[in-house]
Structure 1
Protein backbone atom coordinates (compact mmCIF):
# COMPACT_ATOMS: atom_id res chain seq x y z
CA UNK A 1 0.00 0.00 0.00
CA UNK A 2 1.69 3.25 -1.06
CA UNK A 3 1.56 6.22 1.29
CA UNK A 4 0.50 9.68 0.25
CA UNK A 5 2.51 12.62 1.60
CA UNK A 6 0.93 15.37 -0.50
CA UNK A 7 -1.21 16.93 2.23
CA UNK A 8 1.46 16.83 4.90
CA UNK A 9 4.11 18.35 2.71
CA UNK A 10 1.87 21.17 1.55
CA UNK A 11 0.91 22.06 5.09
CA UNK A 12 4.50 22.08 6.25
CA UNK A 13 5.71 24.31 3.44
CA UNK A 14 2.94 26.80 4.07
CA UNK A 15 4.12 27.07 7.69
CA UNK A 16 7.68 27.87 6.65
CA UNK A 17 6.60 30.43 4.07
CA UNK A 18 4.61 32.52 6.54
CA UNK A 19 7.25 32.41 9.30
CA UNK A 20 9.97 34.00 7.18
CA UNK A 21 7.87 37.13 6.62
CA UNK A 22 7.15 37.63 10.34
CA UNK A 23 10.81 37.73 11.50
CA UNK A 24 12.25 41.25 11.79
CA UNK A 25 16.01 41.55 11.28
CA UNK A 26 17.88 43.93 13.61
CA UNK A 27 19.75 46.91 12.24
CA UNK A 28 23.38 46.28 11.17
CA UNK A 29 24.93 47.88 14.28
CA UNK A 30 22.89 45.71 16.65
CA UNK A 31 23.55 42.62 14.55
CA UNK A 32 27.30 43.31 14.54
CA UNK A 33 27.28 43.71 18.33
CA UNK A 34 25.38 40.44 18.77
CA UNK A 35 27.85 38.61 16.53
CA UNK A 36 30.82 40.05 18.46
CA UNK A 37 29.32 38.97 21.80
CA UNK A 38 28.66 35.48 20.45
CA UNK A 39 32.24 35.23 19.16
CA UNK A 40 33.64 36.27 22.57
CA UNK A 41 31.48 33.69 24.30
CA UNK A 42 32.67 30.95 21.93
CA UNK A 43 36.33 31.94 22.48
CA UNK A 44 35.94 31.79 26.26
CA UNK A 45 34.21 28.43 26.06
CA UNK A 46 36.93 26.91 23.89
CA UNK A 47 39.76 28.47 25.93
CA UNK A 48 38.48 26.92 29.16
CA UNK A 49 37.18 23.64 27.78
CA UNK A 50 37.96 20.89 30.26
CA UNK A 51 38.99 23.32 33.04
CA UNK A 52 37.03 22.94 36.26
CA UNK A 53 37.89 26.38 37.69
CA UNK A 54 38.56 28.96 34.95
CA UNK A 55 38.87 31.81 37.48
CA UNK A 56 41.83 30.09 39.15
CA UNK A 57 43.49 29.61 35.77
CA UNK A 58 43.00 33.29 34.98
CA UNK A 59 44.45 34.37 38.34
CA UNK A 60 47.48 32.12 37.82
CA UNK A 61 48.05 33.53 34.32
CA UNK A 62 47.87 37.12 35.58
CA UNK A 63 50.25 36.35 38.45
CA UNK A 64 52.72 34.80 36.00
CA UNK A 65 52.50 37.88 33.73
CA UNK A 66 53.19 40.15 36.72
CA UNK A 67 56.20 38.04 37.70
CA UNK A 68 57.56 38.19 34.14
CA UNK A 69 56.97 41.95 34.00
CA UNK A 70 58.85 42.45 37.28
CA UNK A 71 61.72 40.27 36.06
CA UNK A 72 61.95 42.29 32.83
CA UNK A 73 61.87 45.64 34.65
CA UNK A 74 64.53 44.54 37.17
CA UNK A 75 66.86 43.28 34.44
CA UNK A 76 66.48 46.51 32.46
CA UNK A 77 66.96 48.79 35.47
CA UNK A 78 69.82 46.65 36.84
CA UNK A 79 72.18 47.81 34.10
CA UNK A 80 72.61 44.42 32.47
CA UNK A 81 74.75 42.90 35.23
CA UNK A 82 74.75 39.13 35.03
CA UNK A 83 73.04 39.02 31.63
CA UNK A 84 74.38 37.49 28.44
CA UNK A 85 76.49 39.65 26.16
CA UNK A 86 76.65 39.36 22.41
CA UNK A 87 80.05 39.26 20.77
CA UNK A 88 80.56 39.73 17.08
CA UNK A 89 83.72 38.74 15.30
Structure 2
Protein backbone atom coordinates (compact mmCIF):
# COMPACT_ATOMS: atom_id res chain seq x y z
CA UNK A 1 0.00 0.00 0.00
CA UNK A 2 1.18 3.47 -0.79
CA UNK A 3 0.47 5.92 2.02
CA UNK A 4 0.41 9.73 1.82
CA UNK A 5 3.86 11.34 1.55
CA UNK A 6 5.21 12.29 4.95
CA UNK A 7 3.42 9.47 6.78
CA UNK A 8 5.40 8.01 9.68
CA UNK A 9 5.15 4.55 11.20
CA UNK A 10 5.62 2.99 14.59
CA UNK A 11 5.57 -0.78 14.58
CA UNK A 12 5.52 -3.72 16.93
CA UNK A 13 5.24 -7.36 15.99
CA UNK A 14 2.30 -7.69 13.61
CA UNK A 15 1.02 -4.11 14.05
CA UNK A 16 1.88 -0.96 12.11
CA UNK A 17 0.47 2.39 13.21
CA UNK A 18 0.79 5.12 10.59
CA UNK A 19 0.42 8.81 11.37
CA UNK A 20 -0.54 10.79 8.29
CA UNK A 21 0.44 14.44 7.82
CA UNK A 22 -3.13 15.52 7.02
CA UNK A 23 -4.60 13.86 10.14
CA UNK A 24 -7.87 13.60 8.22
CA UNK A 25 -10.22 10.61 8.13
CA UNK A 26 -11.47 11.26 4.60
CA UNK A 27 -7.98 11.65 3.11
CA UNK A 28 -6.74 8.40 4.67
CA UNK A 29 -9.97 6.57 3.84
CA UNK A 30 -9.82 7.63 0.19
CA UNK A 31 -6.13 6.81 -0.18
CA UNK A 32 -6.60 3.28 1.14
CA UNK A 33 -9.99 2.54 -0.42
CA UNK A 34 -8.55 3.15 -3.91
CA UNK A 35 -5.81 0.60 -3.29
CA UNK A 36 -7.42 -2.15 -1.24
CA UNK A 37 -9.37 -5.00 -2.86
CA UNK A 38 -12.43 -4.56 -0.64
CA UNK A 39 -14.77 -7.48 -1.26
CA UNK A 40 -12.01 -9.53 -2.91
CA UNK A 41 -8.99 -11.64 -1.95
CA UNK A 42 -5.97 -9.74 -0.56
CA UNK A 43 -2.46 -11.20 -0.36
CA UNK A 44 -3.95 -14.69 -0.64
CA UNK A 45 -6.51 -14.13 2.13
CA UNK A 46 -10.25 -14.31 1.62
CA UNK A 47 -12.34 -11.15 2.03
CA UNK A 48 -14.00 -11.14 5.44
CA UNK A 49 -15.84 -7.99 6.47
CA UNK A 50 -15.93 -4.23 6.70
CA UNK A 51 -17.10 -1.95 9.47
CA UNK A 52 -17.63 1.56 8.15
CA UNK A 53 -18.69 4.37 10.51
CA UNK A 54 -17.71 7.66 8.86
CA UNK A 55 -16.28 10.03 9.86
CA UNK A 56 -14.97 8.21 12.92
CA UNK A 57 -13.82 4.76 11.91
CA UNK A 58 -13.48 2.19 9.13
CA UNK A 59 -12.05 -1.32 9.29
CA UNK A 60 -11.52 -3.82 6.50
CA UNK A 61 -10.70 -7.45 7.32
CA UNK A 62 -9.35 -10.39 5.30
CA UNK A 63 -8.57 -13.93 6.42
CA UNK A 64 -9.58 -16.37 9.13
CA UNK A 65 -8.52 -17.45 12.63
CA UNK A 66 -5.15 -18.72 11.41
CA UNK A 67 -4.11 -15.59 9.48
CA UNK A 68 -5.72 -12.17 9.16
CA UNK A 69 -5.03 -8.72 7.79
CA UNK A 70 -6.97 -5.84 9.32
CA UNK A 71 -6.68 -2.31 7.95
CA UNK A 72 -8.35 0.47 9.94
CA UNK A 73 -8.60 4.26 9.82
CA UNK A 74 -9.65 6.32 12.82
CA UNK A 75 -11.18 9.81 12.99
CA UNK A 76 -7.75 11.48 13.07
CA UNK A 77 -6.63 9.75 9.86
CA UNK A 78 -4.36 7.35 11.73
CA UNK A 79 -3.98 4.05 9.86
CA UNK A 80 -3.48 0.70 11.58
CA UNK A 81 -2.41 -2.45 9.74
CA UNK A 82 -2.54 -5.66 11.74
CA UNK A 83 -1.23 -8.98 10.43
CA UNK A 84 -1.25 -12.39 12.08
CA UNK A 85 -3.59 -14.87 13.69
CA UNK A 86 -6.94 -13.65 14.98
CA UNK A 87 -6.46 -13.36 18.73
CA UNK A 88 -9.60 -11.28 19.32
CA UNK A 89 -12.27 -13.60 17.92
CA UNK A 90 -13.57 -10.98 15.49
CA UNK A 91 -12.50 -12.80 12.33
CA UNK A 92 -14.51 -14.67 9.75
CA UNK A 93 -14.68 -18.43 9.99
Structure ID, larger Rg: 1
Ranked by relative contact order (alpha carbons within 8 Å, sequence separation 6 or more), the top structure is 2
Which TM-score applies when normalising by structure 1? 0.20
Larger strand percent: 2
Going by fraction, where is helix more abundant, 1 or 2? 1
Please give the TM-score of this superposition, normalised by the length of structure 2.
0.19
